[in-house]
Structure 1
Amino acid sequence: MQKPLAGLSRRNLVRELTAGVTLLAIAIPLNIGYAQIAGLPATAGLYALIVPTIVYALVVSSRQLVASPDAAAAALVASSIGGLATAGSADYATLAMAQAIICGILFVLLAVLKLGFLANFLSKPILVGFVGGLALDILVSQVAKMLGVSIDSGGEFVDKVVGLVTGLGTANLVSLAISVVSVAILLLGRRFLPVVPWALVVLVLATIVVVIADLDDQAGVDVLGEVPAGPPAITWPVIDWSTWLMLIPSAIALTLVTTAEGLLVSRSYGEKRGYPTNPNRDLFAFGLGNIAAGASASFSVGSSTSRTAAMDQAGSRTQLPSLVLALGTLLLLLFGTALLADIPSPAIGAIVGVAILPLLGLRDFVRLWRQDRFEFVVGAACFLVTLFIGAIPGILVSFVLALVNLAKRAANPAIDVLEAGGEPTDSLLDEAPSGAVTAPGVIVIRLAAPLFFANGTVFGDAVKRAVTAAEGAGHGPVRHLVVDMEAVTDVDITGAESFDALLTWLDQRNVALAFSRVRPDAHRRLADLGLLGERPVYETNRAAIAALAAPTP
């Protein structure tokens, strides 16, 4: 088992500590913003950086993945809990804690049962669409905050847009000026000096300006307000069982999205930097981290791709920066909360808005449009459902579309006539095959997929077209059909029934069936389903052709 803080040595200690300070500067302003997105007080975002971060860093197998609430998770929390309690209330915070605990339990179950593969159903187009829909919903709220316009941040997307448009006449020009300058600093700073924590710079400068000019009282600029001092208290949400059950669907959605993104980022950085990762241990770490979040007045914790990338760029290769982040946040809550009270909301909105812009996935949608129109439709459908109906329906539609996409591809596998050398010479997915044969009187056909309910009829029709086309092309009668089984890993009952119907058709035309290159498991399956009978099975296609080919006149 990998030790905590694996990879840490005296040689890289200073670099890791420096990276931790950088992470502290990045995480604090973002987590304050994400807590507001979730409808929770700023302390909920800061508490997530202490106990959950420590627990996660000491358990996870990845040396670099940073765990924290993110924009998408915060939006999902708001959309799922907003209908159960009023944002900002004690009951709302309690529900967010309970939701995090359920997520933690689900993560632990995934780890113990090794079910992390379920997240693979969230393909790239689905993630792009789902996260993009959440991001646009967030962006509307942040634009309102940047303009000083009051809208119901917990409402539906259309209501938010209507509230924003109708409230433009009440926009605060000073808030707008703060936002414009903040966005300019963030974008230009990221481009020319990316190593500088520009989010922290923006917060410090904007707060100084607000305090010196007394803009909250004189110009009506909204500020964060008093932040309670002190460390997080260990507690437990007390709600009835029916409410626990109502939180399960949203917790499942949070768990699946975090699993898909977290394991992908963990594996990619492990491969990039040459250290091993353990997916089930990473899921277990997410589980303990979320339970810790729910027990310390915070909300659901996921993986932060942007902060992980920032730590990689800073040269960090251990989890020490996360521990530095936890310590620094604790010190801030103990001694420095007065510094947070005058942070202007427009600056927070600008920071969060710029941070979530990449999550809109505009470039990804353009790439999907160019590469695969069906995949684009899948992503667009997830985007629209998430945006206009809700996050939970978005996840459900995502899974349905994933299954449709899977069935669509499985129902149209590669089915080819092979030439004598084993290379494909004719694709049988075409409605009008060329009529090629492998040898006089012999056709060898390769199915590049398991034979099951989605493609059984497709395979049978393709074989019939191949035989008919070969005889119509003047090659003489087809007497032998050989099915190359190298890529057929399984046969289900429906596929077997379709194959049995094909056998009847072949018998009527006096075409004998044989198999070649049958895998051991598939061989047993064919025998169990009664498809093997006395039919010959050849080790290679060449052996089948030599045994079956009619002599050339």
Structure 2
Amino acid sequence: MTEPPRRLERLLPFLRWRSALNREALRADLLAGLSVALVTLPQALAYAQLAGFPAHYGLYAAMLPAVIGTLFGSCVQLSTGPVALTGMLTAASVAPLAAMGSDAYLALAVTLGLLAGLMQLGLGLLRQGWVLNLLSQPVFTAFINAAALLICFSQLPALLGASGPRAPQLVDEANRIAEALMAPHLATLAMGLGALIALIALRRLVPRLPGVLVVVMACTALSAATDFEAGGGAVVGVLPPLRPSLHLPPLPEWHLLTGLLPAAFVLAMVSFLEAASSAKLISEKTGEPWNENQELIGQGLAKLAAAGAGTLPTSASFSRSALALANGARTGMAALISAATVVVAAFSLGQWLHHLPLAVLAAVILDAVGRLFKPASLLRVWRIDPDDGLAAGATFVATLAFAPNIQNGILTGLLLSLALLIWRSMKPRIALLGLHEDGTHRDLERFGLPHPHPHLVVLRFDGPLHFVNAARFREAVNWARTAQPDVRVVLISAAGINAIDATGLEAVRREAANLAAHGQQLAFCGLKKQVIDVLERDRLWADIAPHAVYRHERQAIDALAPLADPPENL
């Protein structure tokens, strides 16, 4: 009788909220929702600008996508909407194809979000969330650090009051910044730096205060009072009447559409890893499980909702999700209350935002993104594993070198980390074993142990036996059969072999035949069931089975000792 409701809850995760909803939970959700909304409003405007959209598009991204993301996601504290990293990726992917802010640019950016959403939704529905684990944490960390630098760099023109539009090429943008440094707009610089200092001070001194909202309101009021715009300061300006509607942009030409696919895959991967990082942290603190496939569905549907609303691609915000958790959000009602508050504020306060300086929005981005730059994390990766350190370092350098096409940086890291993984798979650890004083068989070279039998050698092979390392297996067996004089049996300690493919099976066949040709015997102990299952599907198993079913080294050595002894000793 309980199965249909459970199946329905899998399709509609928000039905699970019913068990947690009560007066106390609603009170906590109300506080959390309002707190998140107060931070979302200025961030939405800032991150829309970062993505190359008009500022008010960020408000659209904080409405319907936020609702869809929480209704169909698995972690109720996640705050879906505009985020800095997704905005930067969007701008980097589309800027080479169209002028920022143009109709063509907006259509391509919305299409990019649509493609990324379809990818996430498809992976979630097919329960293939593991694909996104191909991007290792060191590569992701390096990309975040490099992207944080580039995002901060991109905000310097607004902070300095540089004239003209953003240059599509990094070198041209650097020249524009250099010119602005020589002759900055002093009022703009003072407004931006003042806002940045105030944001940092409020966050450290009064962390529970919505510092972003306080600073934005104060700077907007100051801008209006001092007629900042008349003095040459750049402001948000007149916002058009907010008329959110559902419609998809016309699809671009086929070559542009296919050209967006790699960028869409990177966007889907990076934005989901950003969401997953928040979900994992929240799950650890609350003890509530989360499901990566369900979260893929939720985040994918949120991106589709953003595309339907004609706005920038969305993701889950780390800072706003942490704020929701800190304020005690219990269910997804907190996100619904936050989205409703954004809607009310957007329609009632839209025109008041006319005087908001763009330098203040730049300060909001610098404050939020600057905290993502953690070079110590890259040094830690290098200390732990040089291979991971190499992949992380290459990702960091490539992201900066390929800018503004920063998606190429993460693709570089992805390909290099996969190449290093294959390289490590080609060189699994092998060791000859001897009997340790504790009764186990261990690396005889490391512990200075003798061979367990004068005519038998035990070889441990640590890794799956497949096409990548089959040659390594054959080299190891040939090394083992000559490891001491008159070796009659080579025993493979196979507990570390957790898989075997056709190439690996062929390597076993050839070595068994090679040993037989030299009057020697190949034997196995500790074979796992999944390996035996593969071997049994081939005639080889009938040949090796009599000496391949031993549970451990001791049993095998005792059973094989008569076979290993020379005929004259029998």
Normalised by the size of structure 1, how large is the TM-score?
0.92
Equivalent residue for 1:338, pick from 351, 356, 365: 351
What pairs with 1:59-78 in structure 2 (closer than 5 Å)?
59-78=72-91
Equivalent residue letter for 1:68? G
- Partner residue, 1:523: 532
- Partner residue, 1:26: 39
Equivalent residue for 2:466, pick from 423, 438, 452: 452
CA contact (8 A) 2:161 2:180 kept: no
CA distance in 2, matches of 1:426, 1:441: 16
CA distance in 1, matches of 2:316, 2:92: 19
- Partner residue, 2:14: 3
CA distance in 2, matches of 1:210, 1:170: 21
Q: Structure 1 residues 38, 515: closer, same or farther in 2, change over 3 A?
A: same
- Partner residue, 1:245: 258
CA distance in 2, matches of 1:155, 1:311: 36
CA contact (8 A) 2:455 2:565 kept: no
Aligned residues: CA RMSD = 2.4
Does the alignment pair 1:488 with 2:488? Answer: no
Equivalent residue letter for 1:66? S
Q: Structure 1 residues 245, 61: closer, same or farther in 2, change over 3 A?
A: same
- What SS does structure 2 have at the residue aligned with 1:510? coil
State the shift of 1:435 in Å: 7.8
State the shift of 1:294 in Å: 0.6
- Partner residue, 2:419: 404
Does the alignment pair 1:426 with 2:440? Answer: no
State the shift of 1:63 in Å: 1.7
- Partner residue, 1:118: 131
Does the alignment pair 1:221 with 2:233? Answer: yes
Equivalent residue letter for 1:111? G
Does the alignment pair 1:255 with 2:268? Answer: yes
Equivalent residue letter for 2:471? T
CA distance in 2, matches of 1:153, 1:531: 67
Structure 1: stretches of 5+ with no match in the other structure: none
CA contact (8 A) 1:21 1:324 kept: yes
Equivalent residue for 2:52, pick from 39, 46, 51: 39
- Partner residue, 1:92: 105
- Partner residue, 1:368: 381
Equivalent residue letter for 1:120? N
- Partner residue, 2:409: 394
Does the alignment pair 1:512 with 2:521? Answer: yes
CA distance in 2, matches of 1:115, 1:34: 30
CA contact (8 A) 2:75 2:295 kept: yes
Q: Structure 1 residues 317, 414: closer, same or farther in 2, change over 3 A?
A: farther
Q: Deviations over 1:30-83 (max 9, x none)?
A: 121111111101121110111111111111121212212211111111111112
How many pairs are equivalent? 543
State the shift of 1:349 in Å: 0.7
CA contact (8 A) 2:278 2:322 kept: no
State the shift of 1:445 in Å: 2.3
CA distance in 1, matches of 2:306, 2:362: 24
- Partner residue, 2:6: none
Q: Deviations over 1:150-205 (max 9, x none)?
A: 36535232332232123322311222222222222222222222211111121112
State the shift of 1:365 in Å: 1.2
Q: Structure 1 residues 5, 503: closer, same or farther in 2, change over 3 A?
A: closer
Structure 2: stretches of 5+ with no match in the other structure: 1-8
State the shift of 1:551 in Å: 7.0
- What SS does structure 2 have at the residue aligned with 1:226? coil
Equivalent residue letter for 1:510? G
CA contact (8 A) 2:58 2:82 kept: yes
Does the alignment pair 1:414 with 2:429? Answer: yes
Q: Deviations over 1:285-327 (max 9, x none)?
A: 1121111101112111112122111222222232222112211
Bigger mean CA deviation after superposition, 290-299 or 178-187:
178-187
CA contact (8 A) 2:160 2:180 kept: no
- What SS does structure 2 have at the residue aligned with 1:417? strand
CA distance in 2, matches of 1:368, 1:263: 20
Q: Deviations over 1:525-549 (max 9, x none)?
A: 2244554342212133221111123
CA contact (8 A) 1:26 1:199 kept: yes
State the shift of 1:524 in Å: 2.8
CA distance in 1, matches of 2:28, 2:307: 32
- What SS does structure 2 have at the residue aligned with 1:335? helix
Equivalent residue letter for 1:10? R
Q: Deviations over 1:364-419 (max 9, x none)?
A: 11212322232122112122222222233224323311211211222232323334
CA contact (8 A) 1:79 1:154 kept: no
- Partner residue, 1:149: 162
Q: Structure 1 residues 527, 152: closer, same or farther in 2, change over 3 A?
A: farther
CA contact (8 A) 2:441 2:553 kept: no
CA contact (8 A) 1:229 1:333 kept: no
CA distance in 2, matches of 1:519, 1:112: 32
Normalised by the size of structure 2, how large is the TM-score?
0.89
- What SS does structure 1 have at the residue aligned with 2:14? coil
Equivalent residue letter for 1:121? L
Equivalent residue for 2:202, pick from 189, 197, 209: 189
CA distance in 2, matches of 1:272, 1:445: 45
